[in-house]
Amino acid sequence: MADDPDALFDDWLAEARATEPNDPVAMAVATADAEGRPSVRMVLMKGHDARGFVFYTNLDSRKGAELVSNPRAALLFHWKSLRRQVRIEGAVEPVSHAEADAYFGTRSRDSRLGAWASDQSRALESRAAFEARYEAMRSRFGSGEVPRPPRWSGWRVMPERIEFWSDRPHRLHERRLFTRRDGGGWDEGLLYP
């Protein structure tokens, strides 16, 4: 059994990339506001290393505001084809401007324009209004470079707990829990299904 949850996650993700029919990097992100009211949505993981799991968003979105007021999150990967899931809990930190710029530069031009046009999570009077804003951004930037909007960046979830869940017959599932020790390293244990 692997004693490094980062290596185990990478192994499981590689298998998911080979078997999942759509978006093996899709994950649910759960946040809570300052009063503890929870909210969850699907996003795409755009990076993983020993520091944590990275996703990007509009910082003025609901999740952005919740992460500022309550800088903790939970993630869930569910790979149905593998009958596995991974649960992650931890504190969050913003990614660096260099990281956000580098990732933003990999997005399609239309996606970069959409980031400028969208007031993510805000009320929208009509689809036509959003499309008009998108067209205004196309005109504004013309054929030039589309830089990263100041309100668009990423978050890194720094895991304190990582649970690897495997489906087993008769609901006798296997649950392996890694808990980060103070000062680094991991403790591993099992949970009843």
CATH 2.30.110.10 fits 5-105+150-191, yes or no: yes
What would the pLDDT profile of 128-160 be if each residue is shown by its tens digit? Answer: 999 999 999 999 999 999 999 999 999 999 999
pLDDT tens, position by position, 39-85: 999 999 999 999 999 999 999 999 999 999 999 999 999 999 999 99
At 3-16, the pLDDT tens digits run 799 999 999 999 99
Q: What is the pTM of this model?
A: 0.93
In 3D space, the residue among 69, 29, 15 whose CA is nearest the CA of residue 156 turns out to be 29
Whether 1 has a pLDDT exceeding 60, the answer reads: no
Give the residue numbers annotated as catalytic, written as ranges: 171
Instruction: Calculate the average pLDDT of the chain.
Output: 95
Output the pLDDT for position 21: 86
What lies within 8 Å, CB to CB, of 17 at 6+ separation is 24
User: CA 131 to CA 143: how far, in whole Å?
Assistant: 18
From-to residues of CATH 2.30.110.10 in the chain: 5-105+150-191
Predicted pLDDT at 122: 87
